[in-house]
Amino acid sequence: MDYLDSLNPAQRLAVEHTDGPVMIIAGAGSGKTRVLTYRIAHLIYGKGVDAFNILSLTFTNKAAAEMRHRIESLAGLEARNTWMGTFHSVFAKILRVEAPKIGYPSNFTIYDSDDSKSLIRTIVKEMRLDDKVYKPNAVLSRISGAKNRLISWKVYQDDPFVKADDEAAMKPKMGEIYQRYQDRLFKAGAMDFDDLLFNTNVLFRDHLDVLNKYQQRFRYVMVDEFQDTNLSQYLITKKLAAVHQNICVVGDDAQSIYAFRGADIQNILNFEKDYPDLFVVKLEQNYRSTKTIVDAANSIIDKNKAQLKKNVWTSNCDGDLIELIKASTDSEEGRIVASTIFEERNTKKLSNSDFAILYRTNSQSRAIEEALRKLNLTYKIVGGLSFYQRKEIKDLMAYMRFTVNPVDEEAFKRIVNYPKRGIGDTSVDKILVAAFDHDMQLWEVVQNAHSFIAGRAASQLDDFATMIKAFKIEVERKDAFEAASSIAKQSGLLRELYEDKTIEGLNRYENVQELLNAIKEYVDNEENEDKSLGSFLQEIALLTDNDRDKDTTDAITLMTIHSSKGLEFKQVFVVGMEEDLFPSQMMIQSREDLEEERRLFYVATTRAMEKLYFTYALTRYRFGRLLNCEPSRFLEEVSADCIKVNKRVASKEMSGAFRSEGLPGTTGSSGYIGIKKKPETRMPTAMKLHTPSPDFKPSNTNNLQAEQLVEHPKFGFGKVQKIETEGINRKATIQFEHFGEKTLLLSFAKLRIID
């Protein structure tokens, strides 16, 4: 048929094989969306299948809308009758009809995460539990994980292993909170997002007539991004396809990167066990990237043991070698990236939107953002706020602003009851009104709170004023970093963030540490004569004064690698390629974890169409200290034929813009910019990492002392030189046999105590 002639042989086979179970293994850039679109169009136009009998499940509304539009252009308006959308949207539609069968009204409310957290706060308060222990984020994350594994509150409470986990985490009441949470949702006629899937499973389990109704309706079931499905999603699709067996799953195990959200890669790896007569099609031709990038990606993912083997190839040109760029610091890394983009954009007539900068954690964006701003390069943050717009950053900045300028009303309102001090909105309003009515400065009213409000709030405001006075003394006597560190600790803000052990909580804590790193760099910069906190705040205020009305459609994209999945750019920078950062030290507990981190690296690599850069820094500020870094082990896994080492610095045109940062000039560089000299093509030799002992198991390091012998899973054996405690952080300086002296944060380091 004419409309199929544009497909390559593998794509056409995947489209035309419509009956029975089918698995389409779609390599990166292989035209997966095109195949799904044509497959549905072929069912409707070529096979005469009623569009009402087709169910197509995706993971984003954007993907569903794009596919629907493409299908309409091929098969006409009939395509609109296809059941197509995200798991949550499709099953919410079913529940609207069937919910009364499981006790919910048809017009049930769907709670978003803010609604859920608010309800959890109320329950924790009613149970008179410590809200510092039972934080809404952590509680909701625990409940969500249970629902995704189809664990009801009753099963949760009856499981001795779950109970033991909660007791070990000092949260023995978690099961009771889960029960109350579900009771309150039910009484309110509400479901949260996880309930939409959980309750669909309950509906199909307890009402076989309803299950049969939808099994007959959906004669053809298709699931996109199958590698990202969790247990709940997997079981729903399996039940729906049980009668006709016309199930088609599309995915790439090499791009399974959402285990932390409950995704189970085993769903795609073991799919053939559920369907012994499975027909498998491999889409292996990459249309997106150069041959160099495709070969590099293959060499990376080949190191994983758990995978469905495929041979991704391309007929595209070889293209440029991947550039490996070493920077002395994370700030220099940002400057080199910004300078390179500036040059590439101008010399190759590219747009800002042709570039993407990918990083492992959001906190890495700060140095990149500052460098881009200094060159007046427009950028946008995807999947997160600009670094200085994040709540935790604005909170600490507000503390510093109010200390320096105690008539700053907006800063006052932001910090006066955060962390919570029992100073409610009514008391805050009275203070602000009194300042206005009596024509007094805000700080004067705050210091004399007893004259304007009564009760406990007045005493709390007195304590708040005393704290700010102490901060002002610190600011007068100390440099910006010392003062900011003291404010972060003594305000309670740092502890508040540190005690939230969810992924989001850890990210917020890292972000605040990154702000302190920025202040430390400011103080350490010899060209900044005024080291005061006030001077730093002024510089940041000027640096972050973005024009909100500015058109940002043509912008450089900054995002985490997780957020980049499914996207493509002409030039891609993967920054922070360092051990403990990528792969992340906190995310590697097993081989499965390491392989997921490697898949994440594969995803980052395959976003690039024409040119790819890997960058790393030899030193990086973390936790207010300048730490030595090592190149990521992943760099050694890239085929040496695909990569070249370059010593980039900011070009001569850029040197003026960066001079205040102390950027070295171009003299003595490799000459990649300005001097014709062949760049190095040899990968740096990295030390072989230690293989942990067979009985390796991390010890409790709460009582670790100097002179003790320890084993680290990467650095091997060493002796503890000293233990330091800075606020809530406890650090150990250890002399390792083969890796020299390392300073490790004990809350993150995994050490086996030998004696």
Which residues are known catalytic residues? Answer: 32-33, 224-225, 255, 607
CA 499, CA 742: separation in Å to the nearest integer?
26
In order, the DSSP letters of 360-380 are SSGGGHHHHHHHHHHTT--EE
Residue 280: closest CA among 245, 251, 256, 255: 251
Query: Is there a contact between 376 and 579 (Cβ–Cβ < 8 Å)?
Result: no
Q: Which positions ≥6 away from 420 have C-beta within 8 Å?
A: none
Residue 151: closest CA among 112, 178, 124: 178
Query: Is there a contact between 271 and 278 (Cβ–Cβ < 8 Å)?
Result: yes
**End-to-end CA, the chain:** 75
Q: Name the DSSP letter for residue 45.
A: I
Buried b (16+ CB within 10 A) or exposed e, 444-462: ebbbbbeebbeeebbebbe
Q: Name the DSSP letter for residue 42.
A: I
CA 370, CA 562: separation in Å to the nearest integer?
22
| H or E element at residue 625 | strand 625-628
In order, the DSSP letters of 611-623 are EEEEEEEEEEEET
SS3 content of the chain, % helix, strand, coil (to 5): 50, 15, 35
Characterise 455 by phi-psi region: left (phi > 0), alpha (psi -120 to 50), beta (else): left
Token duo for residue 720: 């503890």
Token duo for residue 173: 């009441």
CA distance readout (Å), 425 to 398, 420, 422: 18, 12, 10
Buried b (16+ CB within 10 A) or exposed e, 656-675: ebbeebebeebeebbebbee
**How open is the CA angle 643-648-652, to the nearest 5 degrees?**
150
Query: Is there a contact between 33 and 84 (Cβ–Cβ < 8 Å)?
Result: no
**How open is the CA angle 239-240-245, to the nearest 5 degrees?**
95
The letter for the amino acid at 702 is N
Q: Name the DSSP letter for residue 467.
A: H
Q: Name the DSSP letter for residue 46.
A: I
Buried b (16+ CB within 10 A) or exposed e, 65-84: eebbebbbeebeeebeebbb
| CB atoms closer than 10 angstroms to residue 356 | 23
